[in-house]
């Protein structure tokens, strides 16, 4: 969101009004590089959150379920390094950062059909997009299964515990379940926002190139950038304190 507010939206908005990119080639590369880092950071952060939720809900008896400051710090470092690794290639010639869509913003070059560009796009698609998605799907699938098993266990516990003990057990479990549900909603909207971008990039490399018109390439950009405003909206309608604050 910070990148979109400070760098992404202003430069793109100004260029849209002028109807061309006016900030030069160097700024285009910087814009694309920073945008690439933060875009890839977003999806890998979702993967790290899913791992945390899986440890708490899917593996409640595991000794590693507690999120320590050290573990959180290592996850953050990993997210930054992973995102930088896949964003820095075009700076050194593995692919490129170029104008895209209606030529008012810059991103990875997914139009050029040569070996260097294609290898960059395919590797990014596999390791920077599909890999974190697989982590997310694995974690949340197991979370859903754990929730299902938990409901069965609570039904069995209801026969053994008194009302006070049962309410206490349910309160803690319900809080974790609610966080998991919110996380699933956030991940779902993120995938819906960014998947069109991945589809267009693959289509440009392997499909009919005439389908990737300037407007067809620009629409996924708008969907992806709009994802920055979704999280605040989701939290505002799902958390009681947020609802009270804006009421």
DSSP letters spanning 163-213: HHHHHHHHHHHHHHHHHHHHHHHHHHHHHHHHHHHHHHHHHHHHS-GGG--
Confidence (pTM): 0.80
Q: Could you list the residue range(s) of the whole structural domain that residue 75 is in?
A: 2-246
Domains identified in the chain, total number: 1
Express each pLDDT in 23-68 by its tens digit.
999 999 999 999 899 889 988 998 998 888 888 877 766 655 567 7
Return the axis-axis angle of helices 131-157 and 163-206, rounded to nearest 10°. 160
Backbone angles phi, psi at 160, to 5 degrees: -110, -30
CA 36 to chain centre: 12
Per-residue pLDDT band for 94 (boundaries 50, 70, 90) equals very high
Q: What CATH number has the domain bearing residue 153?
A: 1.20.1070.10
- 21 three-class SS: coil
């Amino acid at each position: 969101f910070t990148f979109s507010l400070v760098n992404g939206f202003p430069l793109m908005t100004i260029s849209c009004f002028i109807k061309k990119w006016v900030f030069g080639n160097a700024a285009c590369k910087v814009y694309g590089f920073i945008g690439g880092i933060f875009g890839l950071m977003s999806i890998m952060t979702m993967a790290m959150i899913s791992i945390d939720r899986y440890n708490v809900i899917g593996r409640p008896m595991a000794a590693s379920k507690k999120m320590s400051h050290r573990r959180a710090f290592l996850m953050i470092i990993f997210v930054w390094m992973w995102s930088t690794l896949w964003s820095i290639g075009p700076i050194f010639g593995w692919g490129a950062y170029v104008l895209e869509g209606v030529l008012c913003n810059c991103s990875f070059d997914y139009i050029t059909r040569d070996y260097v560009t294609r290898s960059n796009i395919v590797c990014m698609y596999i390791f920077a997009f599909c890999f974190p998605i697989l982590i997310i799907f694995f974690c949340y699938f197991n979370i859903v299964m754990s929730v299902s098993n938990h409901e069965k266990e609570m039904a069995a516990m209801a026969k053994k515990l008194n009302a006070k003990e049962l309410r206490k057990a349910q309160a803690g479990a319900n809080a974790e379940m609610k966080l998991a549900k919110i996380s699933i909603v956030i991940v779902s909207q993120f995938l819906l926002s960014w998947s069109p971008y991945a589809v267009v990039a693959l289509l440009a490399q392997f499909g009919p190139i005439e389908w990737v018109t300037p407007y067809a390439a620009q629409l996924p950009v708008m969907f992806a950038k709009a994802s920055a405003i979704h999280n605040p909206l989701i939290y505002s309608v799902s958390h009681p304190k947020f609802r009270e604050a804006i009421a």
